[in-house]
């Protein structure tokens, strides 16, 4: 039964992200936290979101901002390296708490009004997001 719920929520979350451009990942990880064991939440979430976002990227390939993509990718690689080192120090029973805090912070965090240097903005964003996801895996 949990599998059917996850399939339905994954489809809805991917559709939501495709239409609105955001919100699908947060919705999906929130439901997964209630249905899956903590160590499997982030890897499964990443696989679903990778398929969803790769499909969306293929449809919009002609309109892709390659400069932004490269900058986000550079930060993402650094963040993944940092996060993969942090994962070893996090007990599995703490993962749902960390995911909940992550969701609340990024849902309610005010947006910054300060202009950030373009290339640092996306590199930092990619790095921070990757380190959070790998460290909570």
Of 40, 63, 86, which residue constitutes the final position of a domain? 63
Are 37 and 84 within one domain? no
Q: What is the pLDDT of residues 34-47, one digit of tens each?
A: 888 877 888 888 88
pLDDT at 137: 46
Alpha carbon dihedral 62, 117, 104, 84, in 10-degree steps, equals 80
pLDDT tops 60 at residue 133 = no
Round to whole Å and give the CA distance between 69 and 86: 25
For the chain, the domain total comes to: 2
Q: Are residues 43 and 20 in the same domain?
A: yes
The burial of 30, by beta-carbon neighbours within 10 Å (0-12 exposed, 13-18 middle, 19 or more buried), is given as middle
User: Model confidence over 72-122: pLDDT tens digits?
Assistant: 888 888 888 887 788 778 887 887 888 788 878 877 877 766 555 555 555
Domain ranges, residue 106? 65-137
For residue 103, the model assigns a pLDDT of 79
- pLDDT tens for 20-70 read 777 888 888 888 888 888 778 888 888 888 888 788 888 888 888 888 888
C-alpha 131/C-alpha 112 separation (Å) is 21
């Amino acid at each position: 039964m949990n599998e059917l719920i996850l399939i339905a929520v994954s489809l809805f979350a991917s559709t939501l992200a495709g239409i609105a451009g955001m919100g699908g990942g947060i919705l999906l990880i929130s439901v997964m936290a209630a249905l899956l064991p903590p160590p499997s939440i982030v890897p499964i979430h990443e696989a679903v979101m990778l398929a969803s976002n790769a499909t969306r990227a293929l449809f919009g390939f002609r309109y892709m901002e390659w400069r932004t993509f490269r900058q986000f990718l550079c930060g993402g690689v650094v963040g993944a390296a940092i996060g993969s080192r942090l994962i070893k120090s996090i007990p599995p029973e703490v993962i749902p708490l960390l995911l909940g805090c992550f969701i609340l912070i990024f849902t309610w965090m005010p947006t910054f009004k300060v202009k950030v240097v373009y290339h640092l903005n996306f590199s930092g964003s990619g790095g921070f997001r990757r380190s959070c996801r790998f460290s909570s895996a």
